[in-house]
Structure 1
Amino acid sequence: MALMRYEPLNLLNQLQREVNHLFATNRLVDEETGHVLADWMPALDIKEEPGQFVIHADLPGVEIKDIEITLEKGTLALKGQRASETKQETEQYRRVERVRGTFLRRFSLPDVADADKVSAKCKDGDLGLSLINI
């Protein structure tokens, strides 16, 4: 029989982690109205290169036709949706972790980004954007 050291705070730490996980969310909520603006937020990288910004967003399962890209007053917005699969009532899932529904990411860019010179391509779930600086 192995002896284990008793750590009285381990249970409290475990409870704290579980409560944090319970309330953690990737949903974007409007602070004024409380309405959910997005079900999930894609991870992305923003890189500034000479003469342009390059952005890559992880959007597996999202087609380019389902993505809306806007740049207004220095704010770039990526909006779209990952369609839900139709599930049969006879199917019994043991675990569902892949998020479906709408997404929205907004972030500020310096005013040097030109809204008329944005190029986008999506391949294998990676959305690549190039924004030319003025």
Structure 2
Amino acid sequence: MSALTRFNPFRSSTWDPFREIGELENRLEKYFGKPLIPGNGGKETMAIAEWAPLVDITEDAKEYLVKAELPELKKEDVKVSVEDGDLTISGERKFEKEEKGKKYHRIERSYGSFMRTFTLPEGVAAEKVNAEFKDGILTVHLPKDEKAAPKTVDVKVQ
């Protein structure tokens, strides 16, 4: 018997529970406007977080659409690949060069390498996947295979 698996865009192929806890802590800090665990005598602490671009995944009758926010990146800095049923988006956002006489008072944006991997749902035509990059938004089109499209069959009842 074959099992049906529903596509879950929130499931990444590599799950890291510590990253999940860190993301929850960051969300709560943003909501309450202060760190959950105060340090330095109650002063605001600063930490550099791992960076992962935010992604929206939608579906219509013809395709799945993945949109990733990649501000200040060039398309040369981003790689999109489909392999073994996984879509992988990777790249790197580099920190600005330090300038003499310039003081940094706060650095909240994250920098460095990132990789997001998503399991493709059944019925995606992997050989027809294409991507476009414009204004800091990466859009990946995952067309559905025509063979996998649901068909309507009229049944005559007698």
1:78-104 CA distance string (max 9 Å, x none): 000112210124311111112111111
User: Taking every aligned residue pair, what percent have the same amino acid on both sides?
Assistant: 33
More strand by share: 1
Map of 2:63 onto structure 1: 52
5+ residue gaps, structure 2: 1-31, 39-44, 146-158
5+ residue gaps, structure 1: 1-13, 28-39
1:61 paired to 2:72? yes
1:25, distance to aligned residue in structure 2 (A): 8.1
1:62, distance to aligned residue in structure 2 (A): 0.9
Pick the aligned partner of 2:37 from 11, 14, 19.
19
TM-score by length of 2: 0.60
- The change in CA–CA distance for 1:109 and 1:26 in structure 2 (over 3 A counts) is farther
Aligned-partner Cα distance in 2 for 1:72–1:19: 41
1:114, distance to aligned residue in structure 2 (A): 2.0
Map of 1:104 onto structure 2: 115
- The change in CA–CA distance for 1:98 and 1:66 in structure 2 (over 3 A counts) is same
Aligned-partner Cα distance in 2 for 1:110–1:41: 22
Secondary structure of residue in 1 paired with 2:121: coil
1:131 paired to 2:142? yes
Structural RMSD (CA) = 2.6
Secondary structure of residue in 1 paired with 2:138: strand
Secondary structure of residue in 2 paired with 1:84: coil
2:123 partner amino acid: V
